[in-house]
Structure 1
Amino acid sequence: MLQLKRILLVEDNPNDAELTMEALSEHNLANEVDLVRDGAEALDYLKRQGAWAGRDNGNLAVILLDLKLPKVDGLEVLRIIKSDPHLRFIPVVVLTSSREEKDLIESYRLGVNAYVVKPVNFGEFIDAVKELGVFWAIVNEPPPANKGAY
């Protein structure tokens, strides 16, 4: 039987977060989708500290990361993830409304696995999230997780 993995959604916009969570759950693309609303909380989640100190060691299929976040912006979160030996192999997909070339270039320079601009149209947004979920949670074969890593 297929073992579905957890997805971490880092999104401060309540509407985008709700739509993303709905799209993923409607299509049964993850056992769990954990939502954090700013970059500092994302780092606490990944490092199992603060409010997330007791979370289990379940493997993450992917991190869906917005760039324009309060407290710690998405590019800094990405930089920290990709420079940490325990986190760097977690696939990260930037899911953002930013079409700024500098954000795109910096995201890839830091090691993002994919950069997706959020479609404005509701149906296209749902379809894009579904496709992301299918690929990263089901199709993609991640590297084996080290004991204790993410």
Structure 2
Amino acid sequence: MSESGTFQAEPAQILLVEDNPGDVRLTEEAFKQGRIENDLYTVSDGTEALEYLNQRGEYADAPRPDLVLLDLNLPRTDGEEVLAELKDDPELRSIPVIVLTSSRAEEDVVRSYELHANAYLTKPVDPDEFIETVRAFEKFWFSVVRLPPEENR
């Protein structure tokens, strides 16, 4: 919110770290149907995610995400490692990270929260339920949750 109490018209910058093209499509579809204006950027492995977040290489001009949606099962650098590195970096740790994964394993849930994930969502198998989960998350995260002002992120 701005000082006048109105929401910024700026679209939310969201980084999706997902290697499954079908899940990328479903997430894009869910965000298109949602009411929150957003710019969704997608990378397909953990190494690329870290390059993006640290604005290295081809991502030198990448915008800082307002939120990261992170799959755990990624090629090259896995999601746990990305989460650990992100939350260990004083410049990046304030970016909310939502783990969005197919794993229902209790140890993955526990480990994600130990690494300071902000939330853990299990991907539904049904495509319509998947879209509904992402839309419910989007509505909650961008309508209800209060994020720190941009200068403090």
Q: Same fold (TM over 0.5)?
A: yes
Task: Please tell me the root mean square deviation across aligned C-alpha atoms, in Å.
Answer: 1.6
1:35 and 2:42 aligned: yes
- In structure 1, the residue matched to 2:142 is 137
Residue 112 of structure 1, CA deviation: 0.5
Matching residue of 2:127: 122
SS at the partner of 2:150? coil
Tell me which residue corresponds to 1:92: 97
How far did residue 68 of structure 1 move?
Answer: 0.1
Structure ranking higher on relative contact order (CA contacts 8 Å, 6+ apart)? 1
Q: Is the 8 A contact 2:14 2:66 kept in 1?
A: yes
Partner of 2:15: 8
2: distance between equivalents of 1:95 and 1:30? Answer: 20
SS in 2 for 1:7: strand
- For the residue of structure 2 that corresponds to 1:32, the secondary structure is strand
Separation of aligned partners in 2, 1:51 and 1:135? 32
Give the number of the structure whose alpha-carbon radius of gyration is greater.
2
Does residue 54 of structure 1 match 2:50?
no
Structure 1 segments, 4+ long, off by >6 Å, are none
Could you state the TM-score of these two structures normalised by the residue count of structure 2?
A: 0.88
Q: Give the aligned residue type for 2:38.
A: N
Trace 1:11-30 onto structure 2 (pairs within 5 A). Answer: 11-30=18-37
1:77 aligns to what?
A: 82
